[in-house]
Structure 1
Amino acid sequence: MARQEKTTKKQSYQYDAIVLGAGPAGEGAAMKLAKSGKKVAVIDQRHQVGGNCAHVGTIPSKALRQTVFNIMRYQRDPLFQKVGEWKQVPLSEVLRNAHRVIEAQVDTHTRFYERNQIDVHHGRAYLQDEHTVIVHMLDGGSETLSFDQLVVATGSRPYQPEGLDFNHPRVFDSDKILTLNYPIHKIIIYGAGVIGSEYASIFIGLDYKVDLINTQAQLLNYLDDEIADALSYYLRELGVLIRHNEQIEHLETHDDYVVLHLQSGKKIKADAILWCNGRSGNTDGLGLENVGLAPNSRGQLAVNSQYQTDVPHIYAAGDVIGWPSLASAAYDQGRCAAANMVGEQDVQPVLNVPTGIYTIPEISSIGKTEQQLTDEKIPYEVGQASFRHLARAQITGETVGVLKILFHRETLEILGIHCFGNNAAEIIHIGQAAMLSQANNSLRYFANTTFNYPTMAEAYRVAALNGMNRLF
């Protein structure tokens, strides 16, 4: 709860714990601390809670993706030809639904803080010393907050290299792209990681021409090779031009277009460019040097398995510590950090995190890839279910995709699950539950379980039977 009437003069407050950042990691930490009986304050530099996740990251981009997915689905149906009117409209128009979702999320999470009697201070935090933080309030004045323990959960922002003018109206990063308010026909996306791949599928769905510049040899090279290849093939089928192993030389900007010069000598002209090549932790300006903490070159803080920094009473969680930089993991990291802060025993760090990539269609995975199992000389086999053979996929028309189960040939232990297709990020959790269960982590569990029919979940039974048929 903000103290609007007190911002014109200095105020002082004492807290057991202060959390910097009101995104998923900050919220997870604050809620756990409050429920453990601690007096807690959250400091966030926005006027509303939710962090980058709610305002410029996960929520708006995924709401945008859903709108584009709906457009693409209707375009395939001859009964809905009028959907073509969506083509070449400003992105800001497509984002109308996203703004409604953001407002609903802010309202929901604001109530969480109020219910748990957590003070929220809206302003910029500056660590004066190891137990004092100064808050420069957004509406003027300052507050001095004293604390026993601190959690840094300030998140991250798009990395902006020197030499690119992000103030130019045709040069965007993944935050600024949500403000695109004019129609474009062609866009360059530099960086083919998760965010770049997601936006490539979104823009091609809006009938833009897309050049996706990948600085690596393949898309998302940490994924299972077959899944990464499937995404690459599908994006190309839709019309995305993917250029691998390329590096920027320089960017030429004009009033109504840009020209990207690559080190290979290629020149690519487009209406705009979206830079998606890395992120930086939001640690600058926090005064971390006053408490003896030094972030790395990308603004990230190092922590131990308890999410504790080199300063024992200061913890960090979420994107500001780097991998895996997922909202889901960030919330759990914040909760685990708080559990360690209040002295709980045997708190396990967040490790078994499913990958969720919201391209169209989605990708999700957990566990080992085929290459990893091969390198480790583990005798594994593969069970597959192609979506095109599933009745539910045929009914919905979303037949692109596959579910792969990697399992030990001898013990039938499930070693990895990889899914490419509509609702992959939902489907993966069935496999995740089995993998993490000592009683059910066996291919037999899926082969012997009755699934509703028709559902996408029955892909697990189909894949399990397919895998068993490969054994001899």
Structure 2
Amino acid sequence: MLARYDVVVIGAGPAGEGAAMKLVKEGRRVAVIDQLGEVGGNCAHVGTIPSKALRQTVYNLMRFRRDPLLSRMADIRSLPLSQVLARAHKVIDIQVTTHHRFFERNDVDLYYGEARFEDDHTMSVLTSEGVSERIGFESAVIATGSRPYQPADIDFNHPRVFDSDKILKLDYPVQKLIIYGAGVIGCEYASIFVGLGYKVDLVNTQPQLLSFLDNEIADALSHYLRDLGVLIRNQEEYSKLETQDDCVILHTKSGKKIKADAILWCNGRAGNTETLNLEAVGLSANSRGQIAVDERYCTDAANVYAAGDVIGPPALASAAYDQGRCAAAHITGSQDVPHVGDVPTGIYTIPEISCIGRTERQLTEDKVPYEVGQSFFRHLARAQISGDVVGMLKILFHRDTREILGIHCFGNNAAEIVHIGQAVMNLPNNSIEYFANTTFNYPTMAEAYRVAALNGMNRLF
């Protein structure tokens, strides 16, 4: 028997949920299929939520360690990772329950199993029990997310070789860890594991860390990681990985040999598309399993849309949810649907990094006359009280119009602080003068905007 729906959404992560909720609110009958057997996607189960919960626990322990009154109560190195992760698993359970309630309350039918296109209006779902169900649909949204990229010559079944999903199951003592790949995930885990007392070698295939960031912010991250004890090896690529019972040895193309207790592979991600039978709807994925879409998030198949990590950058949960909503809006025929454009970047290293808008490098290349306003957290009373004095807020603005062009923040709660700047940037009369003329609570971290605005305006002549 063929169950019929207006729209089938493949994937119950942020993009899938965003699409499904928008569609049902517009009166469409929706089915959501997920291979994990639970809602939330990789974001909730192995990605954003558990890694950020782990990060928060490590951050709390590091703060205790800095406090002479509490340091003896927070011997980080005596804690097994499984114990540190206990809080993360509680957060996952709460998140899954919460999001499952969203689907139930909105009468979305959930199917758990492997989705496979049969043709452009029919899909089969193979459950874990081996039962196959067929579903008919008018439109489909592919929101299957991504997984860590695994090179064929690396044995990820070895107990000392991890990717960013598997690392959360580390259950034996580690003194030294190699992290291969210094993108966002690699840098986040480098700060987490050095905070746990591990020796960390961060192998970066690029000339500098996170080159898409403003240079000053990227340099600040590099300096702070090194200060914590991370050994950063820039412009290195592996030639082979040697695995033994008690260690791993990474051989680089430059001739180096790096020995450690384990390795965490963080060199990119791949879209989850290999089991979808995309050929049945005339689609194909690139070498990383990603699907091309247009500005409406529509694929080359007129009734098939895609959103989230499966379409590639920015590959952020925040953007994925909005992309799913945007795709759903186009399916329902909504007019003037805003494209998901200038998305704030949130990098959950310790401390955090967040930015929105253009960098100094981009403005210089575009010959835009800009000026810089800076506020260093070590000068703020709130930062001195909390002990989180590492970091800065940087505002880039047009010298003539005073328009804010970029906000860049490095420090504790940067991912929260950036949204104040984001809101002002979206005002019709976007101007740095807003911060100079607005009274902020004292002491707060938000005061950094007033300090940075006055600092920048004092540079004008």
Corresponding residue of 2:456: 467
Partners of 2:448 and 2:170 lie apart in 1 by 39
Partners of 1:29 and 1:397 lie apart in 2 by 42
**Preserved contact between residue 89 and residue 183 of structure 1 (Cα < 8 Å):** no
Matched, 1:68 2:78: no
Partners of 1:81 and 1:427 lie apart in 2 by 28
**Preserved contact between residue 22 and residue 49 of structure 1 (Cα < 8 Å):** yes
Percent identity over the alignment is 70
Partners of 1:435 and 1:62 lie apart in 2 by 27
Corresponding residue of 1:315: 305
Paired letter, 2:432 = L
1:287-336: CA deviation from partner (whole Å, max 9, x where unpaired): 10111001011000000000000001000000000010000000000000
> Structure 1, unaligned stretches of length 5 or more?
1-10
Matched, 1:375 2:365: yes
Q: CA deviation at 1:256?
A: 1.0
Corresponding residue of 1:3: none
Corresponding residue of 1:363: 353
Partners of 1:90 and 1:127 lie apart in 2 by 44
Q: CA deviation at 1:264?
A: 0.5
Paired letter, 2:46 = V
**Preserved contact between residue 42 and residue 119 of structure 1 (Cα < 8 Å):** yes
Write out aligned runs for 1:132-211 (5 A). 132-211=122-201
**Preserved contact between residue 64 and residue 74 of structure 2 (Cα < 8 Å):** no
Corresponding residue of 2:114: 124
Q: CA deviation at 1:13?
A: 0.6
Compared CA separation, residues 284 and 88, structure 1 to 2 (3 A) = farther
Corresponding residue of 1:244: 234
Partners of 1:58 and 1:83 lie apart in 2 by 28
Instruction: Give secondary structure in 2 for the equivalent of 1:211.
Output: strand
**Preserved contact between residue 65 and residue 75 of structure 2 (Cα < 8 Å):** no
Instruction: Give secondary structure in 2 for the equivalent of 1:432.
Output: helix
Corresponding residue of 1:277: 267
Q: CA deviation at 1:445?
A: 0.4
Corresponding residue of 1:54: 44
Corresponding residue of 2:330: 340
Partners of 1:319 and 1:218 lie apart in 2 by 24
Q: CA deviation at 1:380?
A: 0.3
Q: CA deviation at 1:401?
A: 0.3
**Preserved contact between residue 446 and residue 461 of structure 1 (Cα < 8 Å):** yes
> Structure 2, unaligned stretches of length 5 or more?
none
**Preserved contact between residue 88 and residue 206 of structure 1 (Cα < 8 Å):** no
Corresponding residue of 2:394: 404
1:109-146: CA deviation from partner (whole Å, max 9, x where unpaired): 00000010000000000101111110001233111000
**Preserved contact between residue 88 and residue 208 of structure 1 (Cα < 8 Å):** no
Partners of 2:450 and 2:4 lie apart in 1 by 56
Moved more, 138-147 or 224-233: 138-147
Write out aligned runs for 1:262-273 (5 A). 262-273=252-263
Corresponding residue of 2:439: 450
Partners of 1:81 and 1:368 lie apart in 2 by 41
Matched, 1:257 2:257: no
Instruction: Give secondary structure in 2 for the equivalent of 1:232.
Output: helix
**Preserved contact between residue 383 and residue 467 of structure 1 (Cα < 8 Å):** yes
Instruction: Give secondary structure in 2 for the equivalent of 1:87.
Output: helix
| 2:83 maps to which of 64, 69, 93 | 93
Partners of 1:331 and 1:337 lie apart in 2 by 10
Q: CA deviation at 1:349?
A: 1.2
Corresponding residue of 2:276: 286
| 1:43 maps to which of 14, 33, 36 | 33
Partners of 1:318 and 1:84 lie apart in 2 by 38
**Preserved contact between residue 126 and residue 132 of structure 2 (Cα < 8 Å):** yes
Partners of 1:460 and 1:89 lie apart in 2 by 38
Count of paired positions: 461
Q: CA deviation at 1:88?
A: 4.9
Corresponding residue of 1:7: none
Paired letter, 1:464 = A
| 1:385 maps to which of 370, 375, 385 | 375
Q: CA deviation at 1:352?
A: 1.0
**Preserved contact between residue 89 and residue 182 of structure 1 (Cα < 8 Å):** no
Moved more, 84-93 or 375-384: 84-93
Post-superposition, which runs of at least 4 consecutive aligned residues in structure 1 deviate over 3 A?
none
Partners of 1:91 and 1:127 lie apart in 2 by 41
Matched, 1:424 2:417: no
Instruction: Give secondary structure in 1 for the equivalent of 2:323.
Output: helix
Instruction: Give secondary structure in 1 for the equivalent of 2:113.
Output: strand
Partners of 1:418 and 1:83 lie apart in 2 by 35
**Preserved contact between residue 88 and residue 207 of structure 1 (Cα < 8 Å):** no
Paired letter, 1:167 = N
TM-score, normalised to structure 1, is: 0.97
CA-based RMSD of the aligned residues comes to: 0.7
Matched, 1:212 2:192: no
**Preserved contact between residue 76 and residue 197 of structure 2 (Cα < 8 Å):** no
Corresponding residue of 2:5: 15
Partners of 2:115 and 2:303 lie apart in 1 by 17
**Preserved contact between residue 71 and residue 83 of structure 1 (Cα < 8 Å):** no
Partners of 1:397 and 1:340 lie apart in 2 by 48
1:87-111: CA deviation from partner (whole Å, max 9, x where unpaired): 1533222100000000000000000
**Preserved contact between residue 192 and residue 220 of structure 1 (Cα < 8 Å):** yes
Partners of 1:258 and 1:424 lie apart in 2 by 35
Instruction: Give secondary structure in 1 for the equivalent of 2:275.
Output: coil
Partners of 2:441 and 2:186 lie apart in 1 by 36
Partners of 1:98 and 1:146 lie apart in 2 by 38
Partners of 2:407 and 2:99 lie apart in 1 by 32
Q: CA deviation at 1:12?
A: 2.6
Q: CA deviation at 1:46?
A: 1.4
Instruction: Give secondary structure in 2 for the equivalent of 1:169.
Output: coil
**Preserved contact between residue 90 and residue 180 of structure 1 (Cα < 8 Å):** no
Matched, 1:328 2:335: no
**Preserved contact between residue 90 and residue 184 of structure 1 (Cα < 8 Å):** no
1:395-437: CA deviation from partner (whole Å, max 9, x where unpaired): 0000000000000001100000000000000000000000011
